[in-house]
Structure 1
């Protein structure tokens, strides 16, 4: 008889012994944490999705949370001191008055007030005296003649029918390329008037309220007369004020330079405006008649 060799029995591999697992450091099969897998194309579970933004906001909160450091405490102290100093200065400025001034400052203020009061009293007395003299005298009295002459001189200077003298400037516009036009000269006149000019002429043309400028093939024409380059303005007024006004940004000097010209200003303690304007009677304008008694 042939005997069939017996096959040794092998342990079931699907059921490993607990001793072997313990030896390898692995937990028993019954205690292992099951692995959760998410099929492809499906979003993660709600708990995992909510955990991500919560963790991000927590990190932002931790970063923005103030920390009690020495630098932050020092900055807070400086801010408090600065606020206290500003509040104290404002309170002192609001409450400061004459009681805080020194004796010499009070004396100077009192002298200024007294001098201004005396000057105003003298002007009032002079004007009242002139008024009384005109009211009680006849039309040919010295007071009436002097007042009328002063009024006539003022109107003559404004109308350009009288020569004028006084402090002022000369303004010369060099224009080698011919870029300065009539509009530029008119702007110059307006700027001078705004700066307090009382009488002026350009070349030999007296400038008055009716003066006009026009471009011509040979240059610029003013009140029918051709102006020659360089254009020279003679102006009576406060020299420093007019000189400063011509040099303001965007003013006359800058406008002339942008057109290839150049402006030269000279100040004088006394200057003469000799050109005269031909007086002509108005064709259309008439004075308003004086209202009669009882009329509104």
Structure 2
């Protein structure tokens, strides 16, 4: 009986072909049918060059800004800081930060008081008996319209970011609360401010409630009043420059 040896290639060749087919199928699935090594694919060296170019451009901008600051303030940090503080002091007056004094008008508003029997008017509602935010705003608007140079509510200076809000029967101003009576002090022409208050529709309406429900309203002309400066930090969320500012 003859012993015939089978060649290993009889099984090896089909196996290699099968593995090659699986590899090609996997490659096609990953690439989605597109060429894996496309000529337009970004290369690492290109990304490095783009990043270096961006860094160089930013360095040039930084150098230009540094030279601009140095040309204005000098190369001393102390000199630059002194210039900025000097400019800040100059703008403080325009921003209503400094204390001021002069002739003016004092307006006082208060809630209604009970009568001799300890009762409020029978036809009044709770809202009729208290000073509201709109009443304070009406007085402020009239004073500003009359050319008031500075205004203070209670012990706080009113600036561009000040907002007076009523919370219940109290006033919230710059994070602090106040109870009535509310004192509004303004520097300016007293006669002009009184005329503006008389002509303001909402102030006129408030005065009608004064007569009907007993709300408090007083005007006092003074030859000299003092208004405090604004000492709290000013925080602006949005600002737009009005023009070039030099130091």
Give me the TM-score of the superposition, normalised by structure 1: 0.42
Higher relative contact order (CA 8 A, sep 6+): 2
Q: Which has the larger radius of gyration?
A: 1
